[in-house]
Amino acid sequence: MISRRSFVIFLSVGLLLGSAAYFTHDVWQSWFAAAESSPESKTGRHRHGKSQPVKLSPQAQKNLRLTTKPLVATTTWRTVPMPGMIIDRPGFSDRGVVAPVTGVVSKVHAFPGDTVRSGDKLFTLRLLSETLHGTQAELFRKTKETQITGDQKKRLTELYQSGALPLARMIDVDNQLQRLAVAVQASRQELLTRGLTPEQINQAAEGKFVSEIEITAPSKQLRPAPLPSRKDGPIFEVQELKVELGQQVQAGQTLCLLSDHQLLYIEGRGFRQDTPLVERAIREAWPVKLEFMEEEEGWPTLKQSFTIHHLANTIDPSSRTFAFYLPLENQSRTYEKDGRSWLHWRYRPGQRVRLQLRVEKFDNVFVLPADAVVREGADAFIFRQDGDLFDRKPVHVIYQDRQRVVIANDGSVPAGFVAQNGASQLNRVLKAQGDTPAGFHVHPDGTVHGDH
């Protein structure tokens, strides 16, 4: 137990301390007031209070390459990305050139990479076809017989008119002339289909037989409606030679492959569960947004609207995907080098494409670039500009992809200009300003430095 003497001592000490605190209260209260007004305590309160706008000088905005635009309500779509690839359009992009007769390749006029137009020379063939030589000889013989029979008819006509020749004889001569005309026409047609020109056929009819023929680029190229053919004919590029100089070729053998990449297909690929999306896009004729991989600069803007042409009814057994196709009208450039014309296409078969198919429509929303929004946990913010100040505003993100963010127009952001990029940098500056100790300042990139 505490003794009476100890109790008296403790009571005396307590009274002395209480009296000292009472008579010195002005001093220690000032200590607490100074502590509350210190920069550290203010910083602590600001850290947990409402954030202040970020102030950036015009130079700082240029350093961050900030761009601002006014918020404008619009209509947009939620899309689903699908892979795709540019491919040749069957029946339009590539075509082979075949030998019309048996012969030997004596000259090659165009090589891989060369550009040729309709009617340009590709090969010269020295004829080895006995049939072709026989047809020329038959044409010459029938032509001469026609001339002889014609002269004979002139002489017999005078005798017939004098009554010295019966009518049956004149009828026989006319029938013979008709048979010869048919034979001549058949021979001409056969030589024409063999690749001889009308001038060469006329020479063969006169006895000047053709020993060589020239193979030229096709003169006609079909175009699907409503795309018209070129006024100056199709432009082909020699893609591959199938023969060599001095090689003997047979009738119907492929000499070379020509490519015309003006009309191509974009082949999209989807899984079985994506079929309803593609079918609806075809049924509604919705345009498809394309992102071309490895796109080159300097080309004019494409004015073509891309819609799905048709859907394949087969599934690839290896990838378990189906294909759908979009027509693509290509762009090209020509340039001269070493006395030859060269062709440069903008899009090439094998080039990768990303397709965006429409799925859901959003009305009365704001659309911003993805770099205009910063996230902190479940919250999302944008920065509204007011002169040199950028005020952080919370927003409701409805949809977001790699390139854009769709924001609800719910009145959370007043009308005005909004930063289109640099939201992450602005947010770092804002957070650094709230944690800056006395004697330091924040740079626009978010770094903290001491006052100079």
pLDDT digits (tens, 9 = 90+) for 55-99: 888 888 888 888 999 999 999 999 999 999 999 998 888 889 999
Q: Where in the chain is the domain with CATH 2.40.420.20?
A: 47-78+361-450
Q: Where in the chain is the domain with CATH 2.40.50.100?
A: 94-129+216-260
pLDDT tens digits for range 319-340: 999 999 999 999 888 877 777 7
Q: Encode pLDDT of 271-312 as tens digits.
A: 999 999 999 999 999 999 998 987 778 888 888 889 999 999
Distance CA 333, CA 311 (A): 32
H or E segment at 77? strand 74-88
| CA 185/CA 201 separation, integer angstroms | 11
Q: Which of 33-47, 97-111, 379-393 has the lowest mean pLDDT?
A: 33-47
Global pTM?
A: 0.66
pLDDT, mean over the chain: 82
**What's the CA gap between 158 and 138, in Å, rounded?**
31
Give the Cα separation of 288 and 153 in Å (integer): 74
Check if the beta carbon of residue 185 is closer than 8 Å to that of residue 198.
no
For residue 31, the one-letter residue type is W
Q: What is the mean pLDDT of residues 249-272?
A: 92
**Cβ-count burial of 415 within 10 angstroms (0-12 exposed, 13-18 middle, 19+ buried)?**
exposed
**pLDDT confidence of residue 430:** 85
- Residue 376 CA to residue 397 CA, distance in Å, equals 13
Looking at domain 94-129+216-260, which CATH architecture does it have? Answer: Beta Barrel (2.40)
| DSSP label at residue 29 | H
Q: Which fold has domain 81-90+261-360?
A: Elongation Factor Tu (Ef-tu); domain 3 (2.40.30)
Q: Which of 29-33, 246-250, 301-305 has the lowest mean pLDDT?
A: 29-33
Provide CATH 2.40.30.170 ranges for the chain: 81-90+261-360
Tell me how far apart the alpha carbons of residues 226 and 392 are, in angstroms, rounded to a whole number.
Answer: 52
Residue found by looking up tokens 């010195």 in the block: 24
Fold designation for 47-78+361-450: 2.40.420
Dig out the tokens for 158 from the structure: 């005078």
CATH 1.10.287 intervals, the chain: 130-193
CA-nearest of 330, 249, 266, 261 to 95 is 261
What is each CA distance from 200 to 146, 194, 205, in whole angstroms? 19, 11, 9
CA gap 147, 284 in Å, rounded: 69
64-98 burial: b if 16+ Cβ within 10 Å, else e = bebebeebeeeebbebbebebbbbbbeebbbbebb
130-193 has CATH 1.10.287 classification = yes
Residue 337's pLDDT is what?
77
CA distances from 171 to 152, 157, 159, 183, 192 (A): 13, 11, 14, 19, 32
**Closest by Cα among 319, 287, 282 to 302:** 287
**What does the pLDDT average to over 332-356?**
85
Question: What pLDDT band is residue 48 in, cutting at 50, 70 and 90?
Answer: very low
